[in-house]
Structure 1
């Protein structure tokens, strides 16, 4: 109990209770100290509940009773289940006060529990710093603008707020937020998934690595200078970081869900996806070429044309001015970038010469521009209508071509069947003039074919059995390998999950470690934790020794009980055998009859003696229990409490008499 009392006293001192250095046990607590300790704990646990209670006993007895009842009700509101009342504080006993203080100390908030409830990591530290700063600013009183100091002007003035505007940033190859450079990636990596930008860059071959490095070194501006407004830099960086994280998460999810099932490496999986995408592009280009058959014979320049030449060959722009119904962003960019401006014709020169001079009025110039704009819009509408009509004709022709192709295939199948039947009939007609000889030849041929079939069947059976066994063996081996591969695949998935979980746990533990280190640095260094640790270890050692002693006593008691049971049984058996033998001889001999009576008397006396010993043990246990109860009652300070009650009773009588005298005087 001494260690428990020391821990309780230390905890109460931390709550602000003024406990003297000579107080080392709860037994030494006075009523005033008990009330102060309980009120301080209540103020820490529930400030609204404890702030309305005074930390010291009032001088009047009635006020003391009311304070004791209020403290008892407050402790019951917190969840204290023991017996409590005003007598607990005014006429206290050591066990009741110790249990009450232990309950209150356990209810005190702990810094460790608060830290464990909060998320660990840099974000938690940032939130704590922000909360501390906000609390510090809220603690400052509000001052009118005319009376504010420079610090108050910074904290209480309305700051400039900007909207969240994010712009696309150009970064070096793979130089994202904290990523190393990767060779062969474009200057401005796209955010499209599955590496579409890499495939397009590989197909077009727009820049080399040296040119990219030169551009990034000499011409690419820094990230902070790329947005037009400086306030857009954080928003752009956050947006870029979110895009990179989402792309990495999508790739990881796709690899875990689909990539592992292919049993390929990540590079092989990407190359296969690239090949599939290239195949789909070729199929789309072939479908476009079928829709425009006149463009199939367009000349190609070089063995490996670029994307523009392929689009021109498979339904792209023609010299006649026809264009595709829908272009891509790449083709539009290339068209506007690499298309040379044609030389002005004679008609255009004439139009240019006919332009109004600077002396013409601005209204005439605007009217002419409006007329030209309307004419161009009419031409554009006409071209759109023509394009829609041509697209409809192409669709109809495609459907008709498909129908004709199906009809041709069906007729070709019918012709092949008719040709086979005609060939058989022709051979039959050729054999009719010499039918008998042909029948004999056919019969001999059939018999020889049957014999040959039988011999081939016997030979096949000889080869078939080992082949079937080999097939079954290979099939079983294949199934075993498939099972092994599926099991290994599941193990790989489990390992990936475990690695991911371990990485997450490691991150959490690193964040928790940083947070704990920060909190440890902020804690006061004058507290000696080794002393409390040593005390706790001593308490644990004492408890362990007590458990060992209790276990030893229980084992000894069990052994003694077993020995007593065995001796009792042996005694009963011995007496039964002796009684039987003596009883047989007692019928014939008078001296043996007296011996039998003595034996019965001895057995009865022994039984009474054993019962007396058991009663003595029971009485001794009751005596020990009564002594413990006496010690407990002595610990409750019943005599001193009775003296206090008498003194309080006399004080109450004096107060009542004084109040009665005042009433009579009034």
Structure 2
């Protein structure tokens, strides 16, 4: 009980009870200390219930009884099932107080217990201070710098805010169980910059790290979802599933990039030079086909000119229009448009060059509009022709089907006409053929039945095996999912136990080192040896009791059998001899006296056991301080009578 009392005293000190260092057992608790300990525990368990309870006993006896009743009711409300009343606190009993305090300590919330078990080292204190400061700053709402009060200026930084700008980072990942290349290690050790130095601006470091971490978390979550949704059903290994998931992600990204580039190419157009701003612009490559004849043509590279130079822009369309034919030699529908001279003298003014370029641009636009109209007409004609072509093809297929049916009917009629001249013989031949065909069908049916029965049995067997395999696979799949859940739960428990282990290690380091471990070990070994000895003695006593009971039972049976045999023999002789009759009477009296003696011995043993139980009860009552409690009750009764008489006197005087 000493260890239990030490644990209880330590827990009571953690909840705020002022227990002096001299008190090391529940037996030394006074009524005031018991009331304070119970109230502190009740306040921690249920603040609303223990808020109105006082932590000390009042001087008046009637008030003390009321406080005792309130504490007993509060303990019952918390969930205590034992016998409890005002006498538990005013006239304390060591076993009852110990059981009550053990119940209250077990009911304490774990948060307070964990807070009480926190390490007291410098690093732990610093971490708690940092966490408290961060919680205080997070509790204050963010305000713009112009709206901040002096209180907010103390908790929020006055520095200017930065935009969330992200830049890619290169991180040296640690791969356990896999060997990295020497070049990669050298690059990471000698050339790769630190994470804080990789972004171009220092303000982008935090944003880049957060983005990198978010991307890794999303990738890991996507992998988990892929594995839980399709990986288990596919029955592939995690490595293969991870590779397929990566390929799917790459294909999805490539498809998105292709669609983006296509939309950009469709919406983009060739940019030309602005003659007024004199800024060279990008000219996209011309199309690879002629717009009028839809035939491939030679692609010329895009050209750019400067206003000071006299070389106009020439595209494939212009060259094509000048020639009036495609590279294959066929004439185009578009007639050659007049082309302005391409060589200008160096003495022409800039305004003449601009005017000439505008004229060229207008002519090109007109040609482009004509080509677009022709392309639209051709497109409409092609659509109409394609529709007509499909209709014609459908009609042709229908006619071919009708012709095939007519050909079959004609063949049947032709054969019938050929058979008409010799109708009787042909009918007999047809009947013979029909009978032969019927026999052949029956024979084939019998053969098919022979093959069909084992095939059906095999089909049923395979179907049953397949269903069993499906059931087995579903069962294994559910087991795998349950194992995954158990692994996840075990991982969380392992993390918690690792944290508890670290905390216990820190507590062990903070404990005083003057106490030797060997003393505790020796004490534990002594306790174990004493328990073992007690167990051996109990086992020995039980075995002796069993042997004694067996011996008593055997002797009792032997006595009964002996008496029965003796009684029968003596009773036979008693019919003939008078002296034997007296012996028979003495034998019966002796047997009765022996039974009374045995019963007396059994009653004596029962009385001794009752005496031993009563002695134990007397010792228990002596330990409960019954006499001292009775004396205290008498003193309290006298005090209450004095208080009542004083109150009655005041009432009479009033």
Establish whether TM, by shorter chain, passes 0.5: yes
Structure 1 residue 623: Cα displacement: 0.9
Tell me how far apart the structure 1 counterparts of residues 482 and 389 of structure 2 sit (CA, whole Å): 55
Q: Kindly provide the CA deviation profile for residues 248-288 of structure 1, in whole angstroms up to 9, marking residues without a partner as x.
A: 345425543653499x97699899999xx9xxxxxxxxxxx
Inter-CA distance 243–6: structure 2 relative to 1 (3 Å threshold): closer
* 2:488 match: 504
> Which of 414, 417, 441 is equivalent to 2:408?
417
Structure 1 residue 608: Cα displacement: 0.8
Residues 256 and 493 in structure 1, CA contact (< 8 A), matched pair in contact too = no
* 1:598 match: 586
Q: Kindly provide the CA deviation profile for residues 401-435 of structure 1, in whole angstroms up to 9, marking residues without a partner as x.
A: 68536634643552453365367458758x969x9
Q: Does 1:643 align with 2:631?
A: yes
- Structure 2 counterparts to residues 36-47 of structure 1, below 5 A: 36-47=36-47
Inter-CA distance 398–46: structure 2 relative to 1 (3 Å threshold): farther
* 2:86 match: 86
> Which of 211, 227, 234 is equivalent to 1:259?
234
Question: SS at 1:92's partner residue?
Answer: coil
Question: SS at 1:511's partner residue?
Answer: helix
* 2:28 match: 28
Q: Kindly provide the CA deviation profile for residues 594-615 of structure 1, in whole angstroms up to 9, marking residues without a partner as x.
A: 2211221121111111111111
Tell me how far apart the structure 1 counterparts of residues 377 and 154 of structure 2 sit (CA, whole Å): 65
* 1:573 match: 561
Tell me how far apart the structure 1 counterparts of residues 316 and 75 of structure 2 sit (CA, whole Å): 98
Tell me how far apart the structure 1 counterparts of residues 206 and 381 of structure 2 sit (CA, whole Å): 51
* 1:104 match: 104
Question: Which deviates further from its counterpart, 606-615 or 97-106?
Answer: 97-106
Q: Does 1:619 align with 2:607?
A: yes
- Structure 2 counterparts to residues 366-377 of structure 1, below 5 A: none
Count of aligned residue pairs for this structure pair? 514
Q: Kindly provide the CA deviation profile for residues 169-227 of structure 1, in whole angstroms up to 9, marking residues without a partner as x.
A: 9899xx999999xxxxxxxxxxxxxxxxxxxxxxxxxxxxxxxxxxxx9xxxx99679x
Tell me how far apart the structure 2 counterparts of residues 77 and 624 of structure 1 sit (CA, whole Å): 39
- Structure 2 counterparts to residues 218-233 of structure 1, below 5 A: none
Inter-CA distance 99–514: structure 2 relative to 1 (3 Å threshold): closer
> Which of 398, 404, 407 is equivalent to 2:398?
407
Residues 15 and 44 in structure 1, CA contact (< 8 A), matched pair in contact too = yes
Tell me how far apart the structure 1 counterparts of residues 246 and 22 of structure 2 sit (CA, whole Å): 82
Inter-CA distance 44–490: structure 2 relative to 1 (3 Å threshold): closer
> Which of 588, 598, 620 is equivalent to 2:576?
588
Question: SS at 1:57's partner residue?
Answer: coil
Structure 1 residue 79: Cα displacement: 1.7
Tell me how far apart the structure 2 counterparts of residues 52 and 107 of structure 1 sit (CA, whole Å): 19
Structure 1 residue 34: Cα displacement: 2.2
Q: Kindly provide the CA deviation profile for residues 490-521 of structure 1, in whole angstroms up to 9, marking residues without a partner as x.
A: 68746854764465246424532453355446
Tell me how far apart the structure 1 counterparts of residues 606 and 396 of structure 2 sit (CA, whole Å): 112
Tell me how far apart the structure 2 counterparts of residues 485 and 646 of structure 1 sit (CA, whole Å): 84
Question: SS at 1:75's partner residue?
Answer: helix
TM-score by length of 1: 0.57
Question: Which deviates further from its counterpart, 35-44 or 597-606?
Answer: 35-44
Tell me how far apart the structure 2 counterparts of residues 66 and 624 of structure 1 sit (CA, whole Å): 40
Tell me how far apart the structure 2 counterparts of residues 85 and 485 of structure 1 sit (CA, whole Å): 67
Inter-CA distance 179–422: structure 2 relative to 1 (3 Å threshold): farther
Tell me how far apart the structure 1 counterparts of residues 393 and 247 of structure 2 sit (CA, whole Å): 32
* 1:8 match: 8
* 2:343 match: none
Structure 1 residue 632: Cα displacement: 1.8
Inter-CA distance 553–420: structure 2 relative to 1 (3 Å threshold): farther
Residues 574 and 584 in structure 2, CA contact (< 8 A), matched pair in contact too = yes
RMSD (Å), alpha carbons: 6.2
Unaligned runs of 5+ in 1: 116-126, 181-216, 278-306, 308-326, 351-356, 358-371
Structure 1 residue 591: Cα displacement: 2.4
- Structure 2 counterparts to residues 304-383 of structure 1, below 5 A: 329=260, 331-335=262-266, 336=268, 339-340=285-286, 342=315
Q: Kindly provide the CA deviation profile for residues 230-251 of structure 1, in whole angstroms up to 9, marking residues without a partner as x.
A: 9975785577456534643454
Question: SS at 1:17's partner residue?
Answer: coil
Structure 1 residue 616: Cα displacement: 1.0
Inter-CA distance 349–98: structure 2 relative to 1 (3 Å threshold): farther
Residues 72 and 84 in structure 2, CA contact (< 8 A), matched pair in contact too = yes
